[in-house]
Each structure stands twice: as C-alpha cells, then as structure tokens.
C-alpha cells in the first residue's frame, strides 16, 4: 500500500478532510454516514488524480477494502519471462532494451559493462531532472484538481492559463470569488509547486 501520498476529500465544494489514506477514509466515511448528500470527490494530492473508494459497511470494512483496491493492493511482480541476467532478490529486473550496434559497442567499453553503464546513466539523469520534474508534476496535479472540481466556475479557463504560465498573482485574482475550500486547497497545491520550482533552480 502506498504510504507517502496524501488525499483530499470534498463534498460538493466543501472540504471534508486532507490527510493520509486512513484518516481520509475514516473522516469521509463518517461524513457519508452522517447523511451527506453532495457528490464526494477524492483527490490524490501529489498527482491531482481523482480516486474512487467503496465506503459501504463499517469503517473497518471500508479500510479493509484497500487491500484489494487497484491502487493500493499488492501488485504482481514483473517477470522477464526467462532465466538468466537479473537478480530478483537484489531488486534487479531484466527487460529488453533495443539499441543500435554503435550504442552496444560504446556500452561494452564502459567500466562494469553495459548494465552498469546504463544504471549510471539513468541515475545521473534522474538526479539532474528530479527537481524540475517534481515541480512539473506538482503543477499538473493542481491543474487536474482544478479541472475536475472547478471546470464550470467563472474564469476557469483564464485561471488555468495563469497556473501553467506560473502567474500566481493573476491566478489568485481570478479565483478570488471561488468557493473558499476549493480556492484554499488550490492555493496550497500551487504554493507547493512554486516551492519545488524554486528548489529546482537552486
């Protein structure tokens, strides 16, 4: 089960809860059991994607269903379909890579061989791009949240353009009259994106 993500649940345009998966399930379940009739929308904060859950039964039953949820249940390990290179016990998985002869020639000359060289190249690229990539993902999460919950609100299209242009002052002005909980949550997501962007620039 994923443990590092946080989730935000809305009943219509009202915030129910933001928190870890267990907190979100229990608080949302309580809200529903207390007679909430507005549509329930739940978002994964780090990606902005909308996620559905089954709240039937008791709170413990709702939590237990996470074990079979497609996003949280155990996943089948990938298998390369043959024995040979790859050491699953060390977390090393074999997959096919298609390269031109000149690429294989260059890799074979690198210290440790082709596999070690490829791992080094991937790790170096990840280190270089992690900051900017995290900022981009965070900005897209804000955009997905806004599209799903605020697509019909006044000024949405202009607000969306301001978000992706990084014009946070204009965005704040455009969403000033939106429902308070939607506006505040969007502002939190945008602030996180801006923080990651600043960090990526050193």
- Nearest to 175, CA basis, from 153, 149, 200, 193: 153
> Encoding tokens for residue 87?
């050491």
Q: Where are the domains of the chain?
A: 7-68, 130-200
Q: What is the tens place of the pLDDT at every residue in 147-181?
A: 999 999 999 999 999 999 999 999 999 999 999 99
pLDDT for the residue 83: 44
Q: Which pTM value belongs to this model?
A: 0.71
Edge-to-edge strand list for the sheet holding 7-11: 14-19, 7-11, 40-44
pLDDT of residue 58: 97
**Strand, coil or helix: 15:** strand
Residue 30 has a pLDDT of 98
Spans of the chain, pLDDT less than 70? 1-3, 73-93, 123, 125-131, 202
Which residue from 45, 186, 198, 49 is spatially nearest to 132, judged by alpha carbons? 198
């Amino acid at each position: 089960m994923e443990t590092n993500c946080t989730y935000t649940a809305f009943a219509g345009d009202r915030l129910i809860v933001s928190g870890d998966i267990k907190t979100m399930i229990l608080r949302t379940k309580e809200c529903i059991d207390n007679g909430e009739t507005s549509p329930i929308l739940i978002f994964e904060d780090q990606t902005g994607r909308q996620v559905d859950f089954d709240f039937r039964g008791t709170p413990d039953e709702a939590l237990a269903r996470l074990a079979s949820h497609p996003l949280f249940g155990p996943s089948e390990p990938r298998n390369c379909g043959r024995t040979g290179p790859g050491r699953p016990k060390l977390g090393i998985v074999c997959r096919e890579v298609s390269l031109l002869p000149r690429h294989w020639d260059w890799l074979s000359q690198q210290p440790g061989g082709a596999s070690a060289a490829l791992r080094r190249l991937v790790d170096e690229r990840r280190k270089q791009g992690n900051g900017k990539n995290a900022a981009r993902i965070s900005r897209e999460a804000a955009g997905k949240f806004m599209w799903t919950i605020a697509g019909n609100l006044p000024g949405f299209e202009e607000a969306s353009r301001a978000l992706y242009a990084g014009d946070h002052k204009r965005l704040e002005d455009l969403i000033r009259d939106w429902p308070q909980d939607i506006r505040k949550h969007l502002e939190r997501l945008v602030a996180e994106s801006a923080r990651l962007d600043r960090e990526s620039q050193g």
